[in-house]
Amino acid sequence: MAKLILSFENTVLKTIPLDKERITIGRRPDNDIQIDNLAVSGLHAVITTIVNDSVIEDHQSTNGTIVNGQTVQKHMLQHNDVIELGKHKLRFLSDAPAYQDYAKTVVIRKPGTAEATVRAADVPTVLPPAAPAAPAAAPAAPAAAHAPVREATLQVLSGAAVGRVLELNKSLTTIGKAGVQVVAFTRRPVGYFVAQVEGEQPALFNGEPLGEHPRQLNDQDTVEIAGTKMRFVYK
Amino acid sequence: MLTDALRMVSLSDTGMVRDLNEDSVALRPELGVAVLADGMGGYNAGEVASGMAVSTIADGLVQDWNSEALLTLDHNAAIRLSQSVLQTQIKAANAAIHAAAQNDAQCEGMGTTLVACLFYDNFLTVGHLGDSRLYRLRGEIFEQITRDHSMLQEQIDAGMISKENAHLSNNRNLITRALGVVPEEEAEMHSYEVRADDLFLICSDGLHGMIDEAQIADTLTMLRANLNMAAQQLVQAANDAGGKDNVSVILVRVMKSFAAMR
């Protein structure tokens, strides 16, 4: 269960579990989290929790609700977010498992009452994700995948547009004439690739026919599309 | 001939994280049928559930969707019949999956999402359950046609989260309706008119959960002339973004009108 750590001027006052769908925060004693400070409005903000999501919403408070230094109207709380109300702070600690991203789909009943509980009988028996080590190992791939891609361009070597430089800054760029000859350049974490999308006549890759199977581009490779020659160049 | 008017391809990939591919797809292009299912359950039950869903529904339609009987029906009557015939197959698939789950401890509680499409007489009837989706690219407009049966969609509908912030949600894997988990279930069913040049995408959440719709739309727009390449590019993009789930796509391009010959 997610929870909040309430503190005032760096002193931790208490831990509050988010055990209800709706948790009110304010100066009045009838709030779930009462903060007895004039900077806090009678009813200042509300945190609504639906299963693994908690959203904080300001309730027209006088001094506003601030999350991580920014005033917010409505904000989906992420692990370690800090909510400021006057001089009090609430740190949000999520309990969504680290492998949440890898969690398999489950069927959940629509909430009949205010609480959206997942009834064990209704949930397919789901094994933990493929070996607990997997989430630790898997991020290595995405981390490498998100390493910055080297910038590259196409320099037009012939034809009417000779001298023009085209930036390959999108994940997919198509060049050519629809219905005649079209070539696709893909920009992926592992490099740039080129393939022929359509056209009876083959486009050329370093002078050889380019097929539908993507070919990896190396610095200075040439591509000829509908008679126009281009050079692939890393910036 | 439907196979002249509709070009269909499918591609299903385990992704970069999962051990098993529990998505299933089935095409019957001669009948205008395309079915996709994303299964869930312990062990390999997801694979069992999704496989049962697509084969029961596709084979059932081959049996029951009789084009000769259809020739006597007008356009609206054909639409009504398509919904009833498709729903019958879906209910049968639900019963079969649910029964199998009761009989095999390893399959307990198994279920699957579903998107089942039937193209006929310039219309499309689609039945769906869960968060696998049908999208349509028409001209420059790319639109999600089915509405997810998921906790996240309910939160969006309730104004709790904006669609733009949906990727921040931790409830992404919670669906509210599925095939096979309760004794009787039927799909949400709609029919839409179809035009020449429409391009339809059916996909599991392994696609739309990994790459944004703008990138999907651009890919389909730029590669529509080569459906196989478009499908490969979508799957590759999902895997490059992390490939956290099985990813499956079906693409259907409408090359020309397919009005029924009455």
Domain segments of chain B: what residues?
2-254
| 8 Å CB contact of B160 and A94 | no
Of A8-22, A109-123, A191-205, the one with minimum mean pLDDT is: A109-123
To which H or E segment does residue A140 belong?
Answer: helix A140-145
Q: What's the pLDDT score for residue B170? A: 86
Pick A52's closest partner by Cβ from B171, B175, B244: B171
Checking if the pLDDT of A39 tops 60, the result is: yes
Q: Do B130 and B148 touch, CB atoms closer than 8 A? A: yes
Mean predicted lDDT score pLDDT of chain A: 83
A135 or A193: which leads in pLDDT: A193
| 8 Å CB contact of B160 and A53 | yes
Q: Do A217 and A192 touch, CB atoms closer than 8 A? A: yes
To which H or E segment does residue B88 belong?
Answer: helix B75-103
> How would you write the pLDDT of chain B (262 residues) with one tens digit per residue?
799 999 999 999 999 999 999 999 999 999 999 999 999 988 889 999 999 999 999 999 999 997 677 889 999 999 999 999 999 999 999 999 999 999 999 999 999 999 999 999 999 999 999 999 999 999 999 999 999 999 999 999 988 899 888 888 888 889 999 999 999 999 999 999 999 999 999 999 999 999 999 999 999 999 999 999 999 999 999 999 999 999 999 999 999 999 998 7
Indicate the pTM of the whole model: 0.85
* A75 phi and psi angles, rounded to 5 deg: -150, 135
Q: d(Cα B168, Cα A174) in Å, to the nearest integer?
A: 31
- Judged by a CB distance cut-off of 8 A, whether residue A87 touches chain B is no
Pick B42's closest partner by Cβ from A53, A100, A126: A126
Return the residue of B nearest to A181 by Cα. Answer: B225
| 8 Å CB contact of A50 and B173 | no
Non-local (6+) Cβ contacts of B94 within 8 A are: B179, B180, B182, B184, B185, B186
For the residues A31-58, what does the mean pLDDT come to? Answer: 93
Of A3-12, A95-104, B154-163, B223-232, the one with minimum mean pLDDT is: A95-104
* Chain B from 117 to 146: CB within 8 A of any A CB: 130-131
* Chain B from 226 to 255: CB within 8 A of any A CB: 226, 228-229, 233, 236-237, 240-242, 244
Checking if the pLDDT of A115 tops 50, the result is: no
Burial readout A124-161 (b: 16 or more C-beta within 10 A, e: otherwise): bbbeebbeeebbeebbebbeebeeebeebbbbbbeeee
For the residues A186-200, what does the mean pLDDT come to? Answer: 96
Q: What is the count of residue pairs from A and B with beta carbons less than 8 Å apart?
A: 139
Pick B155's closest partner by Cβ from A50, A109, A141: A50
- Judged by a CB distance cut-off of 8 A, whether residue A218 touches chain B is no
Q: What's the pLDDT score for residue A129? A: 34
Q: d(Cα A165, Cα A135) in Å, to the nearest integer?
A: 42
Q: What's the pLDDT score for residue B167? A: 83
Give A200's Cβ-side CA count (13 Å radius): 2
| 8 Å CB contact of A130 and B42 | no
ipTM of predicted assembly, 2 dp: 0.89
- Judged by a CB distance cut-off of 8 A, whether residue A178 touches chain B is yes
Top residue of B170, B213, B236, B251 to mutate, by most chain A CBs within 10 Å, is B170
Query: What are the CA-CA distances from residue A233 to residues A140, A192, A217, A220, B51 (Å)?
Result: 29, 11, 9, 5, 47
- Judged by a CB distance cut-off of 8 A, whether residue B107 touches chain A is no
| 8 Å CB contact of A138 and B168 | no
Range list of β-strands (E), B68-211: 111-112, 114-120, 123-129, 133-138, 141-144, 174-175, 188-193, 199-203
Q: What's the pLDDT score for residue B99? A: 96
Top residue of A107, A185, A187 to mutate, by most chain B CBs within 10 Å, is A107
Q: What's the pLDDT score for residue A110? A: 54
| 8 Å CB contact of A124 and B154 | no
Query: What are the CA-CA distances from residue A103 to residues A127, B58, B117, B198, B262 (Å)?
Result: 10, 29, 28, 34, 50
Q: What's the pLDDT score for residue A52? A: 87
Q: What's the pLDDT score for residue B26? A: 98
| 8 Å CB contact of A76 and B233 | no
Assigned CATH class of B2-254: alpha beta
| 8 Å CB contact of A126 and B38 | no
Q: What percent of chain A has pLDDT over 70?
A: 80
How big, in percent rounded to 5, are the helix, strand and coil portions of chain A? 5, 45, 50
Query: Which residue type occupies B129?
Result: L
- Judged by a CB distance cut-off of 8 A, whether residue B175 touches chain A is yes
Q: What's the pLDDT score for residue B70? A: 87
Q: What's the pLDDT score for residue B43? A: 80
Q: What's the pLDDT score for residue A119? A: 29
